[in-house]
Amino acid sequence: MDGMLSQEEIDALTGGNSATSEADSGSSSEHTLTAAERDAVGEIANINMGTAATTLSTLLNHKVTITTPRVSYVTMNELSKQYDRPCVFIHISYIDGIDGNNILILKEQDVKIITDLMMGGDGSNTDGELSELHLSAISEAMNQMMGSAATSLSSMLEKKVDISPPSASLVDLNDTIDDDKIVSFLDDEIVQISFDMKIGDLVDSQIMQLYPFDFARDLYQKFMGNTEASADKAAAAQQPEQPQVPVQPAPQPQMDAPQMQANPQMAQPQMQANPQMAQPQMQQPYMMPAPNMAVQPAQFQTFNQEISPLLQQENIDLIMDVPLEVTVELGRSNKSIKEILDFAPGTIIELDKLAGEPVDILVNGKFVAKGEVVVIEENFGIRIVEITK
């Protein structure tokens, strides 16, 4: 009425909000996912994080809840404005089944709480700076979490999916990032998948995963290809089998039957003279053996017959060159994670073996013998004193 255009009208005239239009229309540009791709990536991330939350709950002995994901696009500048600084970047690479990588981002305070719980604490020891010990512990936790997520992804795609050990680094989003892998990852706009994470009463925070667009599309293609293959298998299994129509045998000529019944003595010479012609017309009845027939029991080879040493030697020669790993075990000890983290040069670990007691000799992890330690010139050696049966 007043001659002014609304924002919607301006967008319609200038082509504004094109990213949303492309996603809704189903087309996909270089830095945009279609609506189907966004839904599939979100569903895959939801299943993976659900499995990872169960693994983390077992690891921390606390209930871990990770909510439904939210999929969006983000740049490095936008990420630095919306997330705490500094934060921990965990780089995860897929080495089998899927070609690609992603980054998991955790807040610094959340990492301190998680690592304190892993070390046997109550989650309150969060003072001080984040050290290499924290980064090593959180890398191990993420290795188990994302390893279980890769197992879920394997079941979903019906193919083996595996990851390399994750690497963790403390990153200030406003500073220059030294890691070349992360730098190349964050050059352009990326897919951001955000989750709300709760760990008991200790953590109520947010974590996120960052996917390159190529990796997100590859996940979608593999997911949809497996879905279509499963649908085809299900349709084939539900398809009713075609009933088989029994084939009626051709009727046998009945011309000779009256003659055989009327005069069986005449039919018998004909059968003996030309048995091939008589065979289709009648079946030979089952004949019991004559009473005076000699019957002998069947003879079978006994199972306890010894195999000749020559044959044994030929069989064992086939595997003579197979290498086996021989391990000598001096002793064992059980320690908690807290005790292991307290190790330092000079720490003494008490083993379950007594002084002078024979050591265990294992071949490919199987206990086979006992021995005593000897010194051969400048090397240690083992003298076998007992072979187990």
Q: What is the pLDDT of residue 226?
A: 65
Residue 350: count other Cβ atoms within 10 Å of its Cβ. 7
Residue 238, classed as helix, strand or coil, is helix
- Max Cα–Cα distance, the chain, nearest Å: 124
CB contact at 8 A, 37 and 217: yes
Model pLDDT for residues 131-165, shown as the tens digit of each residue:
888 898 898 888 888 888 888 888 887 888 888 88
Residue 19: count other Cβ atoms within 10 Å of its Cβ. 14
Distances, alpha carbon 152 to alpha carbons 4, 51, 103, 214, in Å: 55, 7, 18, 21
> Two tokens at 298?
């069947």
Model pLDDT for residues 301-344, shown as the tens digit of each residue:
555 555 455 444 556 666 777 888 899 998 989 988 888 888 98
Q: What is the pLDDT of residue 79?
A: 81
CA dist 184 and 389 (Å) reads 58
The domains located in the chain, with CATH, are 15-230 (3.40.1550.10), 325-334+350-389 (2.30.330.10)
> What residues are paired with 370 via a beta bridge?
360, 386
Residue 253: count other Cβ atoms within 10 Å of its Cβ. 9
Share of the chain above pLDDT 90, in %: 11
pTM: 0.53
Residue 67, classed as helix, strand or coil, is coil
Say which range, 104-113, 178-187, 197-206, 320-329, has the weakest mean pLDDT. 178-187
Whether residue 86 has a cis bond before it, omega within 30° of 0: yes
At 378, the pLDDT band (50, 70, 90 cuts) reads confident
Q: What is the pLDDT of residue 25?
A: 42
Backbone angles phi, psi at 85, to 5 degrees: -125, 135
